[in-house]
Amino acid sequence: MISLSLAAFMTFGQSFKTDSCGIDTSAVMNKFEIQYIDSVFFAPFEMKKGELGSFTNGFNFNEKRIAFFDCSKTTENGYMTKKEFYQKILPEYRGPHGLTILKENEKRETGYDGIITINCKVIVEGELVEKLKLK
């Protein structure tokens, strides 16, 4: 499991079709959700002069099953639907967030490719996957 956490920084001046985000509970994101996640939520950042870094470490969200976890959510094991996730982060979520990319065996055990987290200051390795198995 690879966890990537970051402080939130929003990109302004870009227009996204956010009314098409979180319209269902499917674990697979539509193109508008992917565009928002890639361009705003996990916006590329400048590492060195002219060199861009990525919080997603090159992870491609297309056709991937993604779970959503909120460390501040005390019910339902912390997991939420995609619809609940987008209701929480739109229009401008500014709290801590991250991406956990699951290993092959974790994917088989859970049926998911990755976990997007919000409101998590510290994540204990393995905890998200164990909770996801119980979901």
pLDDT in tens, 50-105: 777 777 778 899 999 999 999 887 666 889 999 999 888 887 777 888 899 999 99
Q: Which DSSP letter does residue 23 get? A: S
Residue 20 has pLDDT above 50, yes or no: yes
Average pLDDT in the chain: 81
Residue 28 has pLDDT above 70, yes or no: yes
Indicate the range of 4-8, 40-44, 86-90, 120-124 predicted with least confidence: 4-8
Residue 16, pLDDT score = 60
Between 45 and 66, name the one with better pLDDT.
Answer: 66
Q: Which DSSP letter does residue 120 get? A: -
- Cα pseudo-dihedral 17, 52, 65, 116, rounded to 10: -90
Residue 63, pLDDT score = 95
Residue 8 has pLDDT above 70, yes or no: no
CA distances from 128 to 2, 20, 95, 122 (A): 11, 27, 19, 11
The residue whose two tokens read 């460390």 is 71
Residue 9 has pLDDT above 60, yes or no: no
Please state, in angstroms and rounded to a whole number, the distance separating the CA atoms of residues 135 and 130: 9
Residue 30 has pLDDT above 70, yes or no: yes
